[in-house]
Amino acid sequence: MPNSTEPFSQRFAALTLREQRLVVGTGLLLLWGCWDSFLYQPQQQERQRLANDIKQIEQLLNSQQALAVELETAGRQDPNLQNRQNLAALQQSIGNLKQQLDSGDKRFVPSQRMAAALQDMLKQHGGLQLIGLETQPPKTFGGEEQPAWVFRHTLNLTLQGDYFSTLNYLKALETLPWRIHWDSIDYQVKNYPLAETRIQVYTLSFEQDWLGV
């Protein structure tokens, strides 16, 4: 099967050095523009909305957790049916709040499936090759002074491929049924039309440990 990029490579090689630089520069500007308009800006807005939602729910979780401890202590000192009923209802409420974060439009990708999901999506894009996959230690999402309810799991992917394959892959990630947030993207042309793209993404999870990576 002939190499589909060969005509482009031949035309590119026929250009002068100045024209080649203009072509590469234009490609980089187009990639940055598409990423900024269709991925980064919407992600920034979504990230702020999600952070606000999580902050509100975490405040409820913290206050209800404190009340649960108080009721449990009171139950040990003066056990009675009402205290036990209140404690059970409160624990159910905490569970419902966690479920609210983990379902619907606030669904988190399970940490044990994040890397697999990204690699499975990569298999559907034959113009790309995975040359690096690195995980970072999980971090608490939100203030360090608050109890840890939600954890941030970050992955660094390094891909090699042409411009359009890279752009199509980034768009395809938006179709996943889980939230995957973008931190940064670094696109460098190494050997036109091939480029090396370093992408940093993260997801949120109730699990602190990386599993299955």
The pair phi, psi for residue 40, each rounded to 5°, is -70, -55
Does the pLDDT value for residue 176 go beyond 80?
no
| pLDDT at residue 63 tops 90 | no
Q: What is the mean pLDDT of residues 148-163?
A: 84
Q: Is the pLDDT of residue 158 over 90?
A: yes
For 203, which DSSP code? E
Return the SS3 of 104: helix
* 54 contacts 108 by C-beta, under 8 angstroms: no
Please tell me the distance from the alpha carbon of residue 165 to that of residue 125, in angstroms, as a whole number: 7
- What's the pLDDT at 106? 47
User: Which pTM was predicted?
Assistant: 0.53
Q: What are phi and psi of 56, to 5 degrees?
A: -65, -45
Rounded Cα distance, 30 and 24, in Å: 10
Q: How many residues does the structure list for the chain?
A: 213
Instruction: Please confirm whether the linkage preceding 193 is cis (ω < 30° from 0).
Output: yes
What is the per-residue pLDDT across 133-142, written as a single tens digit (0 to 9) for each? 898 888 877 6
**Rounded Cα gap, residues 36 and 174, in angstroms:** 14
